[in-house]
Amino acid sequence: MNNETSDAKILAVAGKGGVGKTSLAAAMVKLLVAEYPDQRILAIDADPAVGLSTALGVDVELTVDDIRKEVVANAEDGNTKAAIELLGEARYRIFDALVEKDGFSFIAIGRPEAAGCYCKINSYLKEVIGILAHNYDYIVIDGEAGIEQINRRVMEKVTHLMLITDSSKKGTQVVQTIKQVADELVMYDKVGVIANRLPNLEVREYMDLGDLPVLSYILSDASLAEYDLKGESIFYLSEDAAIVRGAREALVKIGIIEE
C-alpha cells in the first residue's frame, strides 16, 4: 500500500523485542545527522520503555503521554473547562516535550494509551505530532513490537518501513507478520528487513524471510553490547562498528543515503 509523495522521509523501525531495534534506530539517526547536517532530523521514541533516549544520550523530562494524562486528569475531576483549555494548549505543549540536540530533535511518546473514552484526546495528540513531523526532513520512529501502534498513535503513514529480526525462527516470523499487517494498516513506499545480531553469516541460508528484501546482515557486536551495558550513546560508536556499518548499508539499499 503506497502513500502520496511527501517531502519528509519517515522511517519506522519495527520488529519483535530483543532484536536490537532501538540500537539500529539510534544508528540511523547518527548516520543521518552525519550525512545531512543541513537537514532537520527528528527521532520519535514510540516505545514505552523510552530506550531510544538512552541510545541517543537524551534526557527526557516530558513525554506526549504526560500531556495527555494532564488533560485526562482534569476531565476526570470534572474540570471540563480546564481540560478543554489544556487540550487547546496541547499543540504548544508538544514543543515543551521536544528536546533539541546537536543535529537532531527528539520527542518521546511515553506509555501506551490506556483503555477508556479519551479517543478524541488521543487522536488530537496524534494530529499534533503529525503537524510537528511536517517541520522535519527525516524522521526516525523507534516503535514497539508491531506496526499497529505506529499507525494508531504516531502517524498514519511512513515512507520507509525498516523491519528488524535476529536469526531466530520467531524473529523472522514476526517481521513477515508485521509486513502483512502493514499492508492492511499502514501506508508506506518501501520496505526491507535488517537481519541483526547474527552469530555468524552461515545462518543466512536457514533464515526464511519470505519475499522481504534484505537490506543488511549484521553480526553480533561486542562493542555495542558494552555500550548497552554502560548506557552510553550510540553517537560515540565508531563508524567501523558492525551496527553502524550495517545500518549504513541498509539506508543505502533503501535509498535514504547515497553510497
Task: Output the DSSP codes for 34-93.
Answer: HH-TTS-EEEEE-STT-HHHHHHT------HHHHHHHHHHHHHTT-HHHHHHHHHHHHHH
Q: Are 60 and 237 in contact (CB under 8 A)?
A: no
Please check whether residue 132 lies inside any domain of the structure. yes
- Distance separating alpha carbons of residues 117 and 191, to the nearest angstrom: 34
Residue 135 neighbours by CB under 8 Å, 6+ apart: 40, 42
- Please write the tens of the pLDDT for every residue from 168-186: 999 999 999 888 888 877 7
Please check whether residue 258 lies inside any domain of the structure. no
Q: How far apart are the first and last CA of the chain?
A: 27
What would the mean pLDDT of 100-124 be, rounded to a whole number? 71
Return the higher-pLDDT residue of 230 and 80: 230
Please check whether residue 154 lies inside any domain of the structure. yes
Rg (CA), the chain: 18
CATH for 109? 3.40.50.300
- Domain hosting 151: range is 9-253
Please check whether residue 1 lies inside any domain of the structure. no
Q: Which of 21-30, 39-48, 122-131 has the lowest mean pLDDT?
A: 122-131
Please check whether residue 259 lies inside any domain of the structure. no
- The Cα-based distances of 61 to 42, 106, 136 in angstroms read 17, 12, 22
Domain count, the chain: 1
Please check whether residue 4 lies inside any domain of the structure. no
**pLDDT the model gives residue 182:** 83
- Distance separating alpha carbons of residues 16 and 85, to the nearest angstrom: 39
Please check whether residue 99 lies inside any domain of the structure. yes
Give the up-direction half-sphere exposure of residue 245: CA atoms within 13 A in the CB hemisphere.
Answer: 10
pLDDT at 86 over 80: no
pLDDT at 144 over 50: yes
**pLDDT the model gives residue 72:** 74
Q: What is the pTM (predicted TM-score) of this model?
A: 0.89
Please check whether residue 44 lies inside any domain of the structure. yes
Comparing CA positions, the residue from 166, 222, 228, 231 lying closest to residue 193 is 166
